[in-house]
A and B are shown apart, each in its own frame.
Chain A
C-alpha cells in the first residue's frame, strides 16, 4: 500500500498518547481483623460484566413483502423468483410464494436480489474514523504490549462518516469494532448495529459477546522492539503471551473461588477480568495472524491455557493449513486479495477463501478498511472467481455465508442475525441486481425491519454530524 496519501489509502497510524488504566480497586479487607466469611456472590457475580450496557433500540418499520426476487438466505440456500416477508423487526417467512398481510408494503423485486445484511467481523470504524487525523486516531493503545484492559467501545466515535458508507454502499448491518494490532493483547472489541446514534451504547448489538483482540507476528515485535522493549521477536511475542495467560489462569482461580465460596474478594484487575472472561468462554478471541506457522503455534498455546481461538483475522496464509483450522474448529477471516504490503503478507493469494471452503474450514471475508467495507460483496465475487479458476466451484448462494452467516457465528450472534430465517432480526438488503456483480448496488437496507437506506430517497441517506454543513453534505457517495 502506498504512503502517498491518496484519498483511499488505508491509514495504519499508531497512537502514542494516553495511559493504561489502573483498575478500580475494591477496598481490601486485609487491614481488618478476621470476621466471618463474606457470603459468596455466586459465579460471575463478583463484579459487573456489562457496565456499559446496550441502549440500542430498533426503529419502527412496516411489514414488508419483497416478491419475484432472487433470495440468498445466508446459510447457502437460494430461492429464485421467491418472496420474503418481514414484520415487527423480524423475518416472518420466505419461500416461493408468501402471502402479504393486510397493510404490508409490497415491493416487486423482479431482477433484484435479497440477502441478509453483510456482517464485517473486522472493522475500525469509530476507533480509526474519517477524517483520519491524529486527534481521532484511537485504535491502538500502543503504550504496552499487554492491554486487555482497554475496550474498543471507549474509542468509538459514533459520528464516523464511514458508518453511512458501509450501510449505503456495502449493505453492512452489523460490524465488530476491534482495537488495532500494535499489542499482543489489544483489548476488547465491541459489536455494533450499523445504526447511527448519539452514543456508542445506543449502537451496541444487544447481548453480543465481547471479543478479545490479539495479535501475532510483525506488528507487536516492530512496535515494542523498535523501543528496545520486549517483545522484539516472534519468540518474545509468545513468551509475553504465555506469561500473561499464566497470570490470567491464576486470577481466574482466585475469583472463581471467591465467587463460589465467599471470603475476601481478590484484588480487582481490569485487564485480567478480560482474560478471565476468555478462559471462561464468555469472551471470544479474535486473533490477528498472517502466517500459517504462527497460527499453529497460537492454537497450541490456546490449548495449553484452556481457551479457544474463535477466528484468525488477516489470515493470508490460512490456505496452507485449512485442515488444521478445521480440526481446531477455528475460523479464518480474510481479505480477497490483499498481499505483499509487508513480509508476513507476501504469500497472500486470491484463492484463499475458496481453498478454505474446499477444505471444510470456517471462512469469511473481512475488511479492516473503511473503503473495503463498502464492497465486501465484490471482494467475495473476486474470491469466487479466483477459486473457480483453480477448479474450486462454490455456488454464489454458498459464498454468501462468507458475508453473513459465518461472521455471525464467529461473533456468537448467529441465533439472532446472519441469515434469513423466520424469527431472526430483519437485517435485510435489497440489491438492484446480482450482488456478486460489479454493476450492482444496495437499493434498500433494513436493520431490524427499519428502512435505514433507500437509494431512491435522499431522506433515507444518513449524514453524520461531521458532514453536516460541510462540502459534499448529503451527496450520493
Chain B
C-alpha cells in the first residue's frame, strides 16, 4: 500500500505539500519540552503539522508511513552559523560569512547570498537539520549585519525569514573590532544608534555617503528596525559582567529586543537574564576557560539558565557540522547525572535544539516543533534522535519529502572498496 502510494505520488509529480501524510507507530517527540510518547502519530497537511501525539486519528486518504520501532521529531533548528554562505570556510572565494574590506556593516544582508545547492546544506539535511539561523561574522565593525532564518529544503527558495535579526559583538570580539577596548565598542554602538536616529529625523541632511562617514546611510537605515524593536538585536557576549552591561541597554533604548548569544558565563547571572526576559542562544558544552571572558564556562550553563526560567536555545560552537547539535543535546542530559551539575530532561534537551532556538529568534510560532500549525519539518530517525547511534532515515521540510543522499554518502559509496575495478574510480557513480 505504501509503495503504491509513493509510486502514485511520483507519477503525478505535483507538490507533495498538497497531500496529507500520517506517520504512525513511532515514538513521537514534539520538541516542546515534553517527554516522548510511544506509538504516536504525526499528521501533516499542506506543509503544516495538523496534530502529533498519541491517539491522533489518521485522516482518510492520508499517505501512511509506518514508523514502528523508530522515532519521529521536529528537525533540528541550527545556528548561529554560516549555513548556505560557505562551501569550504578556509577557501575565501567560497566563503561569504564576512567582508573585512567592505565599508558597510549593519546593512549587510545574508539572505542575498544563501545557496541552497551548497554541499554543506545537503550534508546537514541528511544529518537531521531542517532550518538554520544564519549570520555574517563581524569584521570591520562591531555590527555583523542582518541575519536570516533559512530552510534546508531541496528547492530554490531557501529563505524563511530574511533580515530576521541584527548581530553585534560586544565582548572581547567587540573590543577588538571597535579599536581595542570594550568601552570603545559601547561608544561605537551608541554613536551608530544616534546616527540612525539622525537619519530618521532628517534623511536628506544625513551625511552617510561621504568617504569619512563613520556610519553609512545603508547601515543607518538597517539599524532603524532595531531601535524600533521590530528586529531583534543579537548580542554576542560571554562574560558575566558583559551580560549585565548589555541588560542595561533597554534603559537607554527602551524598544530594543535583545537576544544574547554565547553567554558562557550566563549561568552566573541567570536570574538577571530571566528577570529581563532576554532569551539566549547559549554556549552549551564549552567548558574551558578558552578566553578571559569564558573563565567560568561549564556544561551546566544551559541547565542552570533553564532552571532560572530563561528561554534557551543551544548555540552550535563545535566542529563536524551543525547536525552535531543532537550530540550537544544528549550531553546536556548526561551532565545532569553528575552531582553538582545541572542538565536537562530528555524533552528539554530536544527542545533546546528545536523549539528553543526558534523561540529565542521569535519564530517559534512557525517552526521548531510538531505543535499544530507549525511548518512540517519532520525527521524520522532510526532511534532516539539524541543518541549517537541514531541517524535520520526520512525527512520532510514544509511537508515535502527530502532527498537523503549527500555528497558525503556518494564519496563513501564510491570508496566502499578502495581498490580500482575494471575502470578507475572516476567512472563509479
Identify the A interface with B (CB < 8 A). Answer: 1-11, 130-133, 161-162, 165, 169, 218, 319-324, 335-343, 345-351, 355, 359, 369-372, 374-375, 378, 381-382, 384-386, 388-391, 432, 436-441, 455-456, 458, 466-467, 470-472, 475-477
Question: In the bound complex, do residue B262 and residue A10 qualify as a contact, i.e. CB atoms below 8 Å apart?
Answer: no
Could you tell me which residues of chain B, from 85 to 113, have a CB within 8 Å of some CB in chain A? 87-91, 97-98
Contact with A along B302-333 (1 / 0, CB 8 A): 00000000000001011111001001001101
- 3 residue pairs, one from A and one from B, having the closest CB atoms: A472-B296, A438-B330, A342-B90
A369 touching B319 in the complex, CB below 8 Å, given contacts A359-B418, A437-B387? yes
CB distance from A76 to the nearest CB of B (A): 19
Contacts of A388 in B (CB 8 A): 389
The answer, among B265, B268, B331, B412, for a CB contact under 8 Å with A355, is B412
Distance between Cα atoms of A77 and B418 in the complex (Å): 28
Report chain A residues within 8 Å CB of B356: none
* Cross-chain contact B333 with A130 (CB below 8 angstroms): no
CB of A263 to closest CB in B, whole Å? 51
Q: Indicate if B352 sits at the interface (CB-CB under 8 A).
A: no
Which residues of B are found within 8 Å of A355, using beta-carbon distances?
Answer: 412, 415-416, 418
- A40 to B20: give the CA distance in the assembly, Å: 88
Residues from chain A with a CB closer than 8 A to the CB of B331 are: 375, 378, 438
Known A2-B137, A382-B327, A390-B412; judge A341-B88 contact (CB<8 A): yes
Apart from the given pairs A7-B283, A355-B416, A470-B289, 17 other A-B contacts in the complex at a CB distance below 8 Å: A1-B319, A7-B290, A7-B317, A10-B319, A132-B291, A133-B292, A169-B287, A321-B418, A324-B418, A342-B90, A359-B418, A371-B319, A372-B319, A438-B327, A455-B339, A467-B289, A475-B296
Q: Is the CB–CB distance between B283 and A336 below 8 Å?
A: no
Complex Cα distance A456/B294, Å? 25
A and B contact pairs by CB, cutoff 8 A, 9 listed: A1-B319, A5-B172, A165-B287, A349-B412, A371-B286, A381-B388, A438-B334, A438-B386, A476-B341
Residue B288 is within 8 A (CB to CB) of chain A in the complex: yes
Assess A439 versus B334: contact at CB under 8 Å? Given A340-B120, A378-B327: yes
B338 an interface residue at 8 Å Cβ cutoff? yes
Bound-complex Cα distance A323 to B327 (A) = 32
Q: A2-B81, A385-B391, A439-B330 are in contact. Are A7 and B319 (CB under 8 A)?
A: no
Contact B286 A6 (CB under 8 A): yes
B27 to chain A, nearest CB (A): 16
Chain B binding surface SS class: loop
Contact B391 A389 (CB under 8 A): yes
Q: Do residues B289 and A131 form an inter-chain contact, with CB atoms below 8 A?
A: yes
Closest residue of B by beta carbon distance from A5: B173
Interfacial residues of chain B within 373-429, with CB under 8 A of chain A in the complex: 386-391, 408-409, 411-413, 415-416, 418-419, 425
Closest beta carbon of chain B to A42's beta carbon, Å = 46
Q: Which residues of B contact A133 (CB under 8 A)?
A: 291-292
Q: B residues touching A (Cβ–Cβ < 8 Å)? A: 80-82, 87-91, 97-98, 119-120, 123, 137, 172-173, 236, 238, 240, 262, 264-265, 268, 283, 285-292, 294-300, 315, 317-321, 324, 327, 330-331, 333-335, 337-341, 386-391, 408-409, 411-413, 415-416, 418-419, 425
Please determine whether A131 and B319 come into contact, CB atoms closer than 8 angstroms: no
Find chain A residues with CB under 8 A from B339 CB. Answer: 455-456, 476
Q: Indicate if the CB atoms of A130 and B290 lie closer than 8 Å.
A: yes
How far is B408's CA from A351's CA once the two chains are assembled, in angstroms?
A: 9
Q: Tell me the complex Cα distance, A161–B287, Å.
A: 10
B136 CB to nearest chain A CB (Å): 10
Query: What distance in Å separates the Cβ of B421 from its nearest Cβ neighbour in chain A?
Result: 13
Give, as a whole number of angstroms, the nearest-CB distance from A57 to chain B: 28
Contact A441 B327 (CB under 8 A): no
Q: Which residues of A contact B81 (CB under 8 A)?
A: 2
Residue from A338, A347, A477 within 8 A of B287 (CB atoms): A477
Closest to A4 in B: B137
Does the CB pair A371–B285 fall under 8 Å?
A: yes
- Give the residue of B88, B289, B330, B338 whose beta carbon is less than 8 angstroms from that of A340: B88
Rounded to whole angstroms, the CA-CA distance of A381 and B315 in the bound complex is 22
Please name the residue on chain A nearest to B89 by beta carbon: A341
**Which residues on the B side are within 8 Å of A471 (C-beta)?**
240, 265, 268, 295-296
Q: Are B91 and A343 in contact (CB under 8 A)?
A: yes
Task: Find out whether the CB atom of B389 lies under 8 angstroms from the CB atom of A385.
Answer: yes
Q: Is the CB of A437 within 8 A of B340?
A: no
Closest CB in chain B relative to A238 CB, distance in Å: 22
- Residues from chain A with a CB closer than 8 A to the CB of B340 are 458, 475-476
User: How far is the CB of B171 from the nearest CB of chain A, in Å?
Assistant: 8
Contact between chains at B335 and A437 (CB < 8 Å)? no
Residues of B within 8 A of A342 (CB): 88-91
- Contact between chains at A131 and B290 (CB < 8 Å): yes
Q: What chain A residues lie within 8 Å of B268 (beta carbons)?
A: 471
The CA of A371 and the CA of B419, in the complex, are separated in Å by: 35
Residues in chain B near residue A321, CB distance under 8 A: 418
Answer whether A436 and B415 are a contact pair too, CB < 8 Å, given A161-B288, A475-B300. no
Question: A351 and B412: CB pair below 8 A?
Answer: yes
Please name all residues of chain B whose beta carbon is closer than 8 Å to the beta carbon of A350 when the two chains form the complex: 408, 412
Distance (Å) between the CB of B125 and the closest chain A CB?
14
> What A residues does B300 contact at CB under 8 A?
475-476
How far in angstroms is the closest Cβ of chain A from B33? 18
Chain B contacts of A381 at CB under 8 A? 388-389
Cβ contact within 8 Å between A337 and B324: yes
A430 to chain B, nearest CB (A): 14
CB proximity of A262 to chain B, nearest CB, Å: 51
List B contacts of A475 (CB < 8 A): 296, 298, 300, 340
Asked whether B88 lies within 8 Å of A343 as measured between CB atoms, the reply is yes
Taking the nearest CB of chain B, how far is it from the CB of A285, in angstroms? 23
Least CB distance from A312 to B in Å reads: 15
CB <8 Å contact, A131 and B88? no
Q: Contacting A6 at CB < 8 Å: which of B298, B315, B387, B388? A: B315
Do B319 and A455 have beta carbons less than 8 Å apart? Answer: no
Residues in chain B near residue A4, CB distance under 8 A: 80, 137, 173, 236
Residues of A near B386 (CB, < 8 A) are 438
Q: How far is the CA of A345 from the CA of B87 in the complex (A)?
A: 11
Please give, as numbers and ranges, the residues of chain B lying within 8 Å of A131 by CB-CB distance: 289-292, 294-295
The reply to whether A7 and B411 form a contact with Cβ atoms under 8 Å apart is no
Q: A132-B291, A382-B388 are in contact. Are A3 and B335 (CB under 8 A)?
A: no
Distance from B291 Cβ to chain A, minimum over Cβ atoms (Å)? 5
Contacts of A440 in B (CB 8 A): 334
Expressed in whole angstroms, the Cα–Cα distance for A24 and B320 within the complex equals 45
Contact A476 B298 (CB under 8 A): yes
Q: How far is the CA of A389 from the CA of B127 in the complex (A)?
A: 12
Closest to B284 in A: A8
Minimum CB–CB distance from A83 to chain B (whole Å) comes to 24
A6-B283 contact, Cβ under 8 Å, with A382-B327, A384-B389: yes
Query: A320, B327: Cβ atoms under 8 Å?
Result: no
B110 to chain A, nearest CB (A): 13
Instruction: Give Cα A16–Cα B352 distance, bound, in whole angstroms.
Output: 41
Q: Which of A10, A346, A466 contacts B289 (CB 8 A)?
A: A466
Contact between A6 and B262 (Cβ–Cβ < 8 Å)?
Answer: yes
Are A338's CB and B265's CB within 8 A? no
B340 closest partner in A (C-beta): A476
Tell me the complex Cα distance, A324–B415, Å.
13
Alpha-carbon distance A436/B97, docked complex (angstroms):
35
- Distance in angstroms between the alpha carbons of A92 and B294 in the assembled complex: 43
Q: Distance (Å) between the CB of A110 and the closest chain B CB?
A: 16
A345, B413: Cα distance in complex, Å: 18
Q: A342-B90, A441-B334 are in contact. Are A7 and B297 (CB under 8 A)?
A: yes
Q: Which of A1, A323, A458 has the most CB of B within 10 A?
A: A1
